[in-house]
Structure 1
Amino acid sequence: MRRTLHLSVLTAACSTFVVLAPLGAHTLLAQQARTAHGLRDLAAYTGQAVTAWGIPGLALAVVKDDSIVFAQGFGVRKLGDAAPVTPRTLFAIGSCTKAFTAAALAMLVDSGKLAWDDPVTQYLKGFQLYDPYVTRELTVRDLLTHRSGLMRGDALWYATPYDRDEVLRRIRYLKPSWSFRSRYGYQNIMFLAAGQLVPAVTGMSWDDFVQRRLFAPLGMSATTTSVTALARTADVATPHERVAGKVQPVAWRNLDNIGPAGAINSNVLDMAQWLRLQLGTGAYRGARLISPAGMKEMHAPQTLIPLDSITERLRPSTHFLAYGLGWSLADYRGRKLVSHGGAIDGFRALVGLVPEERLGVVVLSNGGELGRALTNALFLRVVDAYLGGAPTDWSAELFRVRNDQMARDSADEAKQEHARVAGTKPTLDLAAYAGSYQNEMYGAVTVTLEQGALVMRFGPSYTGDLSHWHFDTFKAKWRDPEEGWDLVAFTLNAEGKIDHLRWPGLGDFARLAQAADSARTPP
C-alpha cells in the first residue's frame, strides 16, 4: 500500500540491438538508427539515462512512416544476473492495456454489436453502481473516459482473491467522490467493466478476443494477457522496486482479475506493430482492423484534464490535456500527442504517438517507481528530435522532478512522524483489539493476538505486524516489504468496546459480533 521512494544510482548498463533476420539485420537496424533524423545519439543518451536514474533495464522502439527505425535494449533483465534486456524481452505494460480494450470495443462498434453511447446495463445485466442514476445513465463511452465520478477503489482488485465478476459486483459499494461526468478521475474498474462487455456480446472472453482480433493479425506473437503465460519464454524482465532503501527484484503481480485495465505483457517489437496500427488509422499492412471513424473517436478528447504546474512550467507549448477512449491527449509544439503510461509492481511503460508525423515510441522498463518519469523523458526526446530545434534534456529535467517529489515524500513522512503523540498507550488490552472486521466492499480484515503482539490480515497477500503508534492507532508493517506500511485506527463505542477498524483510503471495517471472534490466537 504505502511505498517510500529513495534515490539510487546503479552502474550496470549494457545494451542489445534487435536482430530482425538471421544475417545482417543487426547492422542494418543500427545503421537506420544512426542515419534517422535526430536519432544519432539516442542509444548513448538512453544508456546514460538508464544508469543515472538507477533503472535495471529498459527497452525502446521508434516507428516512423510505418517502419521500425530504432529498437534496442539497455541494462539487464534482473539485478545480479548478466542476461541483457533485448527488444524481445517481455515487460508488463500496465495501463497501456487500456487502449487495447478501447480498440476491442471499437471493433464491436464497427460490427454493430454495440454503440458508444449505449447504456452499460443494456449488456451487463446486474451491473450496479452506488448511485442509481449513474447506474442507469452510464454509457459504454463513460467506461473508457474516467468520468464516472468514482475514485479508484483499487484495493478491491489489487492482491485480492476476487475474480472479475466479483470485483464488478462489489463496485456498487464504492461511493462517488464527485458528481457524474463533472471531472476527470482515474478509475481502473470501469475499464474492467468495458472489457466484460466483450463476452457479453460475443461469448468470447476479453483475453481471447484481443488475442485473436488484435495480437494475431498484428503478429504480436509474444504478447500475453496473463502472467501465467510467461513460462513459455526465457526472455522476461524481472520487476524491481526500491525496498528498504535498496533497488531489488520483486514478484510479478497477477492481474487476471483486472485484466482489461492493465494485464498485458509485451516487448517493444510487438508493441511497434501496435504503433503501426495506430499510426495507420486502423489499417495494418493493407488490412483494415478498425474503421477510421473508430480510430478518430478513440483519439478525440472526451474528458478535459486540468493542466498541472509541472506541465505548465516544463512544457509551455502545451495548452490542453484530455482523455480520449483509452488514450491521454495533449498538444506539444503545435502537434497533437496521443499517449498512455503504464505502472504496476516493478514496471513502468509508455506508448506515445505523434499522428501528424507518423511517429510512435514505446518505452518499457523494469525499474518500478524509480523510472516512471524516464519513460516520458525518452518519448519527448524522440519527439523533439523529429520536430527539430535545440532538444531539451528531458532526462535531466524530469530527473530533478522525480527527486523533488521523493524529497517531498520524505518530508511528508517526517511530518507524520512528528505529529505522533509520544507517551500514549492503547485504551484497552491488546486482546480486546483482536477480532474480525468487515467492509461490504473490500471484505474481511482479521486481527489476531500472536505471541503477545497483534497481527492484521487482509486477503491472501497482506499480513502485517501491528505496533502501537499513538492512542488507538497502530502501524501495520506489511511482511511483504514491497508493500511498506499503513496506519490503522480502532474506534470505541459508547460502551468502551472496539466497534470499527478504520483504514485510511479503504474506509471503516465494522467489528463483527464477539461470538464470531471465538479464537483470537490461531492454532
Structure 2
Amino acid sequence: MLARLFKVLPSAVALMALTSCSDGSPPSAQAIESAQVANAVAQLDALVADVLARSGIPGMAVAVVHRGKTVYAKGFGVRRLGAPDLIDVNTVFQLASLSKSVGATVVATQVGKGIVSWDTPVVKNLPWFALKDPASTAQVTVGDLYAHRSGLPDHAGDDLEDLGYDRRQVLERLRFLPVEPLRTHYAYTNFGLTAAAQSVAVASGIDWESLSDQVLYRPLGMNATSSRYADFMARSDRAYPHIRLNGVFQPGPQRQPDPQSPAGGVSSSVSDMANWMTLVLQDGKYREQQIIPGAALAPAISPQMLTMPPAAEGDSTGYYGYGFNVSVPASGSNIQLSHSGAFIMGASTSFALLPSAGTGIVVLTNALPVGAAETVSATYMDLIKLGHSSRDWFEFFEPKFDEMTAATGKFAGQPLPENPVPPLPPQAYIGTYANDYFGDAEIQQQGGDLILVMGPSKHTKTLQHWSGNVFVFEPGGEMATPGSRSAVTFAIAPGGTAQNLTIEMYEATGFGTLARR
C-alpha cells in the first residue's frame, strides 16, 4: 500500500542532488575549499533549529566531514518524546536504507580480497536462490542486485517480512514473483540486495552481521555501530521511533529489521558515520590505512543503472551505483553520492557526499519521513556549491513526503456505510486460504469478530464489515501509514461459502488473491 513511498523515497536525495544547482552553476571542485565548508557549517545550527521547528520531529543528529576530519557533529532535541534524555553525537539511530551504502562498502572489502567480485553470480554461493526466470537466476550477479537491476518487482519480499518470515524464507519465495528482463529495469528491492549480501557472507565463511563488524566497523572505530537489532536495543543512548497521528508526533512501535539487515538493519551514530564518510571520500582509506582497495570501491560509487534522466538540457543525470545514488552533472564534474533511508514506523535518514570537495554530511532523525533529513543535506550541499540555498528545501520536500506517507486504501478516511448489505453467516468465510507466495491465511472467529491470521508470526488483524462480502482492516506495521485501510473481498461459490479472498494491500504483487484449501 506504500508503493508510492517506496518507489520515490530512494530517489529523494538523488532528486535533491539533481536540482540543488538550479540557481546557477556550481564552482569548480578546486574552488570548494575550507572557507566554503566553514561558511556552510556555521549555518547548520540555525538551519537545524528551523527544520525541527517547522517539521515538529523530536530530534536529529548531524555530522560533517571535510578532508579527512570531522568538522561538525551535534545532536538536537530528545531521544524520546515525554522523556528528558537529549540526543548527542553518540546517540544511536536506526539507519534504515543508509544500510545499503554501508553494506556496499562491506562487500567492497571482500571484492578487494578477491573473495568475490561485483560480477560473481549469486547462485555460485547461494545455490538455492532463484528468480522466476531460470536464465536470470543463472546470470544475476552481486552487482546486479546491489544496483536494483535484477528484474524483481519494486520492494519484493517486504510484505513477507512484515508477516514474520525470516531472511531465508523471504529469499526463497522471491522465485514466485514475476521478473523483468535482467539489467533492463530499475526497481528498488531490499531483499534482492539482501540476497547479494548473503551470498558474499557465505563466500566469506561467516554471517553477514559478523562480517560487517570484522571488516568495517572495527577497523573504522565504529564502536556504536551494528547490523544486529539486539545490539541496537541494548544501547542505553539510543533514539526511539516516532510516528505521526493527526498531525502530532508520538512514540511508535519499534521496527525489527534483522531479516533485511544488509538493506535496512544497521544502527549507528553520527560520530561513527563520520568515520565511514571519511573512508568513502578517501577512496577506501582511513587514518592512512587502506581498508578497501580503491579499485574495489570505485564500481560501487560509479553509475551502474539509470534512475533519473535529465529533465532538461544541462541538468544532472541520476544513477544508482552499488548501494549508492550517483548524480552526474552535465559537466561531468562534482559528482555527488547520496542516499535516503526511512521506516514508516519512525526513522528517517540521509547522507550526501561531494568527493571532489572531500566533504559530506549525514543526518539522522527519530521520526517517520517528512523531508527534514533531506532538507538539511540538500541545504548543506547548496551552501558549499553556491554559497547560499537555491530554494527552501523543506517547503520543497514536505508536501512530497506528506503525499507519499498519506493513508492508503480505497476506503481510507471514509465512514462506514450507513446501509451496508448484510454479510453472510461467519461460517461462509471461516477457513484457510493460501497461495505459493504468502502461504496460508486463516479466517477465524474471535468473539463476535472475524480475524485474519497470516505468516509465521501469526500476524492478526480484526476484520470490520464494510458491505456485503467486503471487510476492511487497518494494516499497521511497516507496510502502511496510520489511518490506512485494506479491503478483504470474498468471492462466494455457488454453494454459499467463500472460495477465495482478495487482500487489497497485496494486489500489486500479483498474489493478493488466496484460494480456499
Task: Give the TM bin, normalised by the shorter chain.
Answer: 0.7 to 0.9
Aligned mates of 1:144, 1:327 — CA distance in 2: 9
Instruction: Give the 3-state SS of the residue equivalent to 2:42 in structure 1.
Output: coil
Task: Establish whether residue 296 from structure 1 lines up as the match of residue 293 from structure 2.
Answer: no
Amino acid of the structure 1 residue aligned with 2:430 = A
Q: How far apart, in 1, do the equivalents of 2:448 and 2:314 lie?
A: 60
Distance 1:200 1:414 in 2: 43
Quote the residue 1:29 is aligned against: none
1:339-350 matches, within 5 Å, as 339-344=338-343, 345-350=345-350
Match of 1:462 in 2: 459
Deviates more, 1:120-129 or 1:479-488: 479-488
Whether the 8 Å contact between 1:425 and 1:468 is mirrored in structure 2 is: no
Match of 2:175 in 1: 172
- Asked whether the 8 Å contact 1:466–1:475 carries over to 2, the reply is yes
* CA pair 40-447 structure 1, distance change in 2 beyond 3 A: same
5 Å-filtered alignment, 1:246-257, equals 246-257=248-259
Q: Distance in 1 between matches of 2:476 and 2:115?
A: 47
Paired position in structure 1 for 2:152: 150
Give the letter for the 2:502 counterpart: R
Deviation of the 1:417 alpha carbon: 6.2
- Counterpart pick for 1:138 among 115, 137, 140: 140
Match of 2:13 in 1: none
Opposite residue 443 of structure 1, the aligned amino acid is G
TM, length-normalised to structure 2: 0.85
From 61, 64, 72, the equivalent of 2:63 is: 61
- The letter of the residue matching 2:440 is A
Task: Give 1:298 shift.
Answer: 0.7
Alpha-carbon distance between aligned partners in 2 of 1:441 and 1:211, rounded to the nearest angstrom: 33
Match of 2:218 in 1: 216
Equivalent in the alignment of 1:362:
362
Q: Tell me the SS of whatever aligns to 1:220.
A: coil
CA distance in 2, matches of 1:375, 1:317: 27
Moved more, 425-434 or 446-455: 425-434
* Residue aligned with 1:39, SS: helix
* Bigger mean CA deviation after superposition, 184-193 or 397-406: 397-406
Q: Which is worse superposed, 436-445 or 481-490?
A: 481-490
Structure 1 residue 428 displacement after superposition: 2.5
Q: Secondary structure at the match of 1:368?
A: coil
1:510 aligns to 2:514 (yes or no): yes
- Comparing 109-118 and 480-489, the one that deviates more: 480-489
Deviation at 1:162, TM superposition (A): 2.5
**Are 2:473 and 1:476 equivalent residues in the alignment?**
yes
The Cα shift of 1:70 comes to 0.8
Query: CA 1:471–1:329 in structure 2 vs 1: closer, same or farther (change >3 Å)?
Result: farther
State the one-letter code of the partner of 1:392. S
What is the letter of the counterpart of residue 376 of structure 1? E
Cα shift readout 1:33-72 (whole Å, capped 9, x = no counterpart): 9991222221011111111101111001000111111111
Distance 1:499 1:224, change over 3 A: same
Gaps of 5+ in 1: 6-31, 514-523
| Offset of residue 250 of structure 1 | 1.3
- 2 CA distance for matches of 1:258 and 1:70? 31
CA shift at 1:472, angstroms? 2.2
Distance 1:79 1:3, change over 3 A: farther
Secondary structure of the equivalent of 2:117?
coil
Q: Indicate which of 430, 435, 438 corresponds to 2:434.
A: 438
Letter in 2 for 1:56: P
Task: Read off the aligned partner of 1:348 and give its amino acid letter.
Answer: S
- Say which is worse superposed, 494-503 or 81-90, in terms of deviation: 494-503
| Separation in structure 1 between the aligned mates of residue 145 and residue 401 of structure 2, nearest angstrom | 34
Q: Secondary structure at the match of 1:301?
A: coil
Confirm or deny: 8 A CA contact 1:49 1:395 kept in the other structure.
no
Task: Look up the equivalent residue of 1:218 and give its one-letter code.
Answer: L
The one of the two structures with greater contact order (alpha-carbon pairs below 8 A, sep at least 6) is 2
Supply the distance in 1 between the matched residues of 2:299 and 2:492 (Cα, whole angstroms): 53
Query: Counterpart of 2:472 in 1: which secondary structure?
Result: strand
CA deviation after TM superposition for structure 1 residue 354, in Å: 0.5
Secondary structure of 2:215's aligned partner = helix
Aligned to 1:390: 388
Stretch deviating more after TM superposition (164-173 or 417-426):
417-426
**In the alignment, which residue of structure 1 is the partner of 2:321?**
324
The alignment of Structure 1 onto Structure 2 pairs a total of residues equal to: 477
One-letter amino acid matched to 2:342: A
Report the CA distance between 1:281 and its aligned residue: 0.3
Tell me the C-alpha RMSD between the 2 structures.
Answer: 3.0
The one-character-per-residue Cα deviations of 1:184-218 (angstroms, maximum 9, x if unpaired) are: 10111111111211332121111111101000000
Code of the residue aligned with 1:438 in structure 2: it is A
User: Given the alignment, which residue of 83, 105, 108 partners 1:106?
Assistant: 108
Could you say if the C-alpha distance between residues 488 and 153 of structure 1 is closer, same or farther in structure 2, counting changes exceeding 3 Å? farther
CA positional deviation for 1:328: 0.7
Question: Is residue 142–residue 148 contact of structure 1 (8 Å, CA) maintained in 2?
Answer: yes
Q: Does 1:79 align with 2:81?
A: yes
2:164 to 161, 165, 188: 161
Correspondence for 1:200: 202
